[in-house]
Amino acid sequence: MSETILEVKNLTKYFPGIKALDGVHLTIRTGEVHALIGENGAGKSTLVKIMTGVYFPTAGEVLYEGNLLEFKNALDAQNAGIAAIHQEASMFSELSVTENIFMGHHITKGRTRRIDWKAMQKETQALLDELELDIDCNTLVKNLGVAQRHMVEIAKALSLNAQIVIMDEPTSALSMREVEDLYKIVRRLKDAGKAIIFISHKFDEIFEICDYFTVLRDGKYIGEGKVADTNVDEIVTMMVGRSLDQMYPKTDVAIGKTMLSVKNLAQPGYFSNVSFDLHEGEILGFFGLIGAGRSEVMRTIFGIDKRSAGTVSLDGKEVHIADPNDAMNYGIAFVPEDRQSQGVILQMSIAKNITLPQINKLSKYGIINKKREFEVTKTFGEKMEIRAAGWHVDADTLSGGNQQKVVLAKWLATQPRILILDEPTKGIDVATKAAVHEFISEMASQGLAVILISSELPEVLGMADRVIVMHEGKMTGEFSREEANSDNVIKAATGHIEEGVSL
């Protein structure tokens, strides 16, 4: 029998200049996967942080198992059985998996309460094995990939024997297979009578795994219901207050001359024999599963990683891009995938973040022209619909999705000729997604050449003029907009090379 385990009543949370939550209600039952839905900045993560003792509410209350929740810190929540996997990584990278998992609840032995490392290692390994993770409990977290880190955080929640497990966008760093693994874990938690709060911007996930949903908009409670009784349109309307007419606003653009030409590019262990041309006005999609080598190719072109073979030419002339500075001077911009560690500097204002790559251009005698800085920030900040209390606030006060928008704005502000986007809409809500797509289209129609890496098939099919597919470091397919469909693209992404395709 499912019963109410957590009740949020009339919850309000103010930050300076912002009402992050405004009279929110939420009822969570045991054995239920509850989707918390809303646009970037709607207040989802703030609500999670109140439930887990990170923030105190300004007004309203949270009842947990019928009692008023009065956590003084995150450890209280952990001990009470509410565990969260936060949007931003919250592990200590210099410590091992075991140390991270038992942080704050060490196993001790004897009367002296000595820390029992053996027991903790054993239990950690058992947890990892149970989740079928190929990770050694003594590995330092810094040596794990993003997906593995997420899985370790889940293992941690399990080790705490949490009654409520909150997952704030858990799948954004996972590959298709890993998402399946996560679903398995979620279903198992559910069968064990736990309550799961699941935050995601991906509707297919919500409809696949969630039973119930609650929608927030601008910090306000909008509504709730059974997932089985609703549909995407209805949820979108609740989220944005209107229906979205077009998801992939691709405009037809005449494809111009070749701008970038890559020949036989290789980096041992990552990719080999990568060759393609990119034309003026073209949106070239790169599809593949996580780990296919797409990001590595782009990092090499941008001068972050060194290549072992191959050439890169711009406008027909071979160029030697030694580092990202060179790349930027050639008019190339690269928006990386892992924006949390490579994109945004959290302790810096939005304005400083956005203008960082062009700080020299905006300065004279080492002094930044504040007015220009503001103008650039405003132009591109507004274009990306960044929601913030002001342009001067630090990036760490922004919601996850809005931080992503800052990184996009930063690179678009350099007004590049070639724009490489690595998963540009990851973590971005539906309405902004449409805005980002519209913006990409607009840039292309002005003659910019765009490379769009995406693991979201509808995005690639909807936006790209041409699709290149990679699998395990090799190109396994190339399709024109007309040819590309979910069948042939997915086949190529899983390593199947279509007959008649010469690569």
Ligand X SMILES: Nc1ncnc2c1ncn2[C@@H]1O[C@H](COP(=O)(O)OP(=O)(O)OP(=O)(O)O)[C@@H](O)[C@H]1O
Is residue 44 within the footprint of ligand X (CB under 6 A)?
A: yes
Is residue 24 within the footprint of ligand X (CB under 6 A)?
A: no
Q: Which long-range contacts does 50-56 make (Cβ < 8 Å, 24+ apart)?
A: 50/11, 50/13, 50/21, 51/6, 51/8, 51/77, 51/82, 51/84, 51/164, 51/166, 51/197, 52/77, 52/78, 52/82, 52/83, 52/84, 52/166, 53/77, 55/13
Is residue 299 within the footprint of ligand X (CB under 6 A)?
A: no
Under 8 Å between Cβ of 405 and 385: yes
CB within 8 Å of 34: residues ≥ 6 apart: 26, 28, 195, 196, 197, 198, 210, 211, 212, 213, 214
Answer for which of 2, 4, 7, 15 binds ligand X (CB under 6 A) is 15
Is residue 37 within the footprint of ligand X (CB under 6 A)?
A: no
- Min dist CB 458 to ligand X, Å, is 20
Is residue 400 within the footprint of ligand X (CB under 6 A)?
A: yes
Q: Kindly identify the residues of this chain, within the stretch 41-60, that bind Mg ion according to CB under 5 A.
A: 44-45
- Min dist CB 87 to Mg ion, Å, is 5
- Min dist CB 353 to ligand X, Å, is 14
What's the token pair of residue 167?
Answer: 């997952």
Q: Any bridge partners for residue 140, and if so which?
A: 96
Q: Kindly identify the residues of this chain, within the stretch 417-476, that bind ligand X according to CB under 6 A.
A: 429
Quick check: helix, strand or coil at residue 216?
strand
Span interacting with Mg ion, options 57-65, 86-94, 239-247, 458-466, rule CB under 5 A: 86-94
Answer for which of 6, 26, 32, 40 binds ligand X (CB under 6 A) is 40
Count each helix (H run) and each strand (E run) in the chain, helices first: 17, 24
- CA-to-CA separations, 453 to 99, 112, 293, 331, 346, in angstroms, rounded: 35, 55, 11, 19, 25
Span interacting with ligand X, options 35-43, 176-184, 462-470, 493-501, rule CB under 6 A: 35-43
Closer to ligand X by Cβ: residue 171 or 397: 397
Span interacting with ligand X, options 14-22, 140-148, 360-368, 462-470, rule CB under 6 A: 14-22
Q: Which residues of 238-276 are buried (b: 16+ CB within 10 A; e: fewer)?
A: bbbeeeeeeebbbeebeeeebbbbbeebbbeebbbebeb
Give the angle subtended at the CA of 238 by the CAs of 236 and 240, to the nearest 5°: 65
Q: Per-residue contact track with ligand X, 331 to 350, x per CB under 6 A?
A: --------------------
Is residue 248 within the footprint of ligand X (CB under 6 A)?
A: no
Span interacting with ligand X, options 40-48, 280-288, 462-470, 485-493, rule CB under 6 A: 40-48
Q: Which does residue 476 touch among ligand X, Mg ion, none (CB within 5 to 8 A, set by kind)?
A: none
Q: What is the DSSP letter of 268?
A: T
CB within 8 Å of 241: residues ≥ 6 apart: 217
Quick check: helix, strand or coil at residue 456?
coil
Q: Per-residue contact track with ligand X, 80 to 99, x per CB under 6 A?
A: -------x------------
- Min dist CB 198 to Mg ion, Å, is 13
- Min dist CB 96 to ligand X, Å, is 29
Is residue 57 within the footprint of ligand X (CB under 6 A)?
A: no
Please give the backbone phi and psi of residue 140, each rounded to the nearest 5 degrees, phi first. Answer: -75, 140
Of 117, 149, 123, nearest to 135 by C-alpha is 149
Compute the 3-state secondary structure of the chain and give helix, strand, coil in percent, each to the nearest 5. Answer: 35, 25, 40
Span interacting with ligand X, options 39-47, 234-242, 248-256, 287-295, rule CB under 6 A: 39-47
Under 8 Å between Cβ of 409 and 324: no
- Min dist CB 196 to ligand X, Å, is 17
Is residue 353 within the footprint of ligand X (CB under 6 A)?
A: no
Q: Which does residue 38 touch among ligand X, Mg ion, none (CB within 5 to 8 A, set by kind)?
A: ligand X
Size of the site for ligand X (CB under 6 A): 21
Closer to ligand X by Cβ: residue 82 or 398: 398
Span interacting with ligand X, options 12-20, 27-35, 305-313, 347-355, rule CB under 6 A: 12-20
Please give the backbone phi and psi of residue 104, each rounded to the nearest 5 degrees, phi first. Answer: 85, -10
Binding site for ligand X (CB under 6 A): 15, 18, 20, 38, 40-46, 87, 387-388, 397-402, 429
Where do contacts with Mg ion occur on this chain (CB under 5 A)? 44-45, 87, 399-400
